[in-house]
Amino acid sequence: MDGDPVDGDGAVPEGRDDAVGRDGAGTGPGGREGAPGDDATAGPDGADDQTDAQDDDAGEDATDASREPGGLAGVLEEMAALVGLPLAVGLAEIDPDGQDPADLVELAAQWSRVLAWAHYQRAEVLAALVAGAIEHDAAAGALTAVSTEVAMRQGISRPAATRLVRTALALTGPLQATGEALARGALDPRKADVIAAGLEHQPYQVCHDVEDAVLPQAPGRTPPQLARDVAEALIAVDHHEAEARHRGARARRRVCHPRPLANGMASLYAVLPAADAIAVDLALDGAARAAKAGGDARTIDQLRADVLAAAGADALTRGGFGLPPDQPPSRPDTAATAATATTTTATGTTSAAPTPDATATATATPDGNAAAASATTMSTPDATTPATPPAPPQAGTDGPVTAAGPEPPPPPPAPPAPWMPIGRVGGVPVRINVTVPLTTLLGGGQAGHLDGYGPIDPATARALALGGTWKRLVTDPLTGTVLDLGRTRYRPPPDLAELIRHRDKTCFRPGCGARATGCQLDHTIPFAHGGTTAWANLATACSVDHPLKTDGHFHVRQTTPGIFEWTSKRTGRTYRREADGTTTPLHPRTGQPLTPPHDPPPF
């Protein structure tokens, strides 16, 4: 799941006897007659209308009562029996201004129940959308196509849309008890996501048994606690498959591409086997604490970040990771120290791997101090610094006491890491690109663009454009583009391909953030159908979206160079990718943008 776990309010309000488990009685999902989990018997014709009228009257009475001093608590107690739309209508009539803080806490909790109900309604719609798509395409292709269109319509990433769709299929399928609890507002949406993620790809019976184990306590558990509950229950229910599940999870290990943060910063997120993650953490911690012991003024957190950044930039400088084939291994003691990279905080004992070249530090922080960072070096202790503190001398001796007899032989050195050279992507060597307007190079204030990140401040752009492993592309500040080279053949020459990648920056599908440097080049009008290899007919396509276009799930037009319109074969709806990557859904009949224009403020 993207992002850090966020605690949600999933508590069942006082006065309610909602059973979160599978066989609990009460209103079904959405409060609709006949919904799964609803054991109420439908009344005679007109009973539903009478109930709706009563709900409306209750909402009006509750509104009047909430205006009286101390009246909101009683109103909320009455509304605790409502679910879904009737609850939302009643809550919308309550003015929170001037209410007692304790009542406002409960009012927020009741609105959270409405949000949970709305999440389940969306899940039902998405599940129906997938079911219809599967009738025409294979399940895997249908899921990808639906997730892609949902992402473009809602302006979210495809991974986020895929999670929405997969969770919807789970909540309306093997995890129906979780879906029912979500629809009643007895379970927070974040907690439903945690359960769905923990039980993904599990058989129906395993899902049911785990739900029975974790749902009764789920309202009082935070999402991280619930995740642990699900993991423990899954092992208890199906321990025979635990090893197979770990192998499957290990096969999905990955390091995500940088995610932009504010003020010129970015985050990296890695999913590793637990032992490997601990090894990386120990190595970073050991190197940071060794540098700190040697007098480095940076904090431990800063040093850990700089060591990690230095490893990547050093690999770009040397052309790969690990030990080059023509370089002899390090001394046994150095290799052993690098291999262990342990830290004993209690005694202050540290051992750390040698730090990479100092030139890498400039890439660690693309902020306003990048120029100063390029001149800093990674501080390490002297070669004579012992790995462990010496034993204190005893009385009558001149130094530390050594044990009698021969010293044991040193442990064998760890084998050197295999050399993993950095290849070429898109026909050009891997490098970090920064686009700098000419006026900025001359001292102006226009922002630069760091490939794979986005806008950076002028000072950082000027510093990064000085050279090293960076490549600069100077653009016309009036248009921001370079003229087409005008070559026409099937495979574009490297210079034209590079210009296309600099123009698009990411994949040409609306909302896709795949970096253009790792994308294929696609002819918008296929070459076999008369399309030319030109600036206005080429685009960068990632390995997922390229087949979506080629297989006919979407028809793509490049209306002007760098602007693409994707039309869904299934729904007929069109989504436009603007030149800056913005997604604009178009009206299915008029072709005009669905999003309202940004009117200037009336002042």
What predicted TM-score, i.e. pTM, was given to this entire model?
Answer: 0.62
Do residues 389 and 478 make contact, with C-beta atoms less than 8 angstroms apart? no
Res 289 pLDDT > 70: yes
Which residues, including other chains, have CB under 8 Å from residue 540's CB and lie 6 or more apart? 500, 501, 504, 506, 507, 508, 516, 519, 520, 521, 522
pLDDT digits (tens, 9 = 90+) for 517-549: 889 999 999 988 888 888 889 999 999 999 999
C-alpha distance from residue 87 to each of 46, 52, 104, 110, 162 (Å): 21, 11, 16, 8, 30
- Residue 423 pLDDT greater than 50, yes or no: yes
Mean pLDDT, residues 556-579 = 94
pLDDT value for 407: 66
DSSP β-ladder status, 432-437 and 470-475: parallel
Tens digits of per-residue pLDDT, 53-93? 545 554 555 555 554 545 788 889 888 889 999 999 999 99
The residues, ordered by sequence, that sit 6+ positions from 501 with a Cβ below 8 Å of its Cβ are: 426, 516, 517, 519, 540
Q: In this structure, what DSSP letter does residue 519 have?
A: S
Q: For residue range 313-348, what is the model confidence (pLDDT) as tens digits? A: 888 888 888 777 666 555 444 433 333 333 333 333
Phi, psi of 456 (to 5 degrees): -130, 160
Instruction: Check: CB of residue 318 under 8 Å from CB of residue 262.
Output: no
d(CA 139, CA 282): 43
Percent of the chain with pLDDT over 70: 65
pLDDT number for residue 212: 96
pLDDT digits 0-9 by tens, 196-237:
999 998 999 999 999 999 999 999 999 999 999 999 999 999
Mean pLDDT to the nearest integer, 124-149: 89
What amino acid occupies position 23?
D
Nearest to 422 by CA among 517, 544, 545: 517
- 456 in helix, strand or coil? strand
Mean of the pLDDT values across residues 278-290? 92
The pair of three-digit structure tokens given for residue 199, joined into one six-digit string: 């039980």
pLDDT at 169: 96
Of 351 and 466, the structure prediction assigns the larger pLDDT to 466
* Amino acid at residue number 481: T
pLDDT, one tens digit per residue, over 449-465 is 787 777 888 888 777 76
**Average pLDDT of span 472-501:** 59
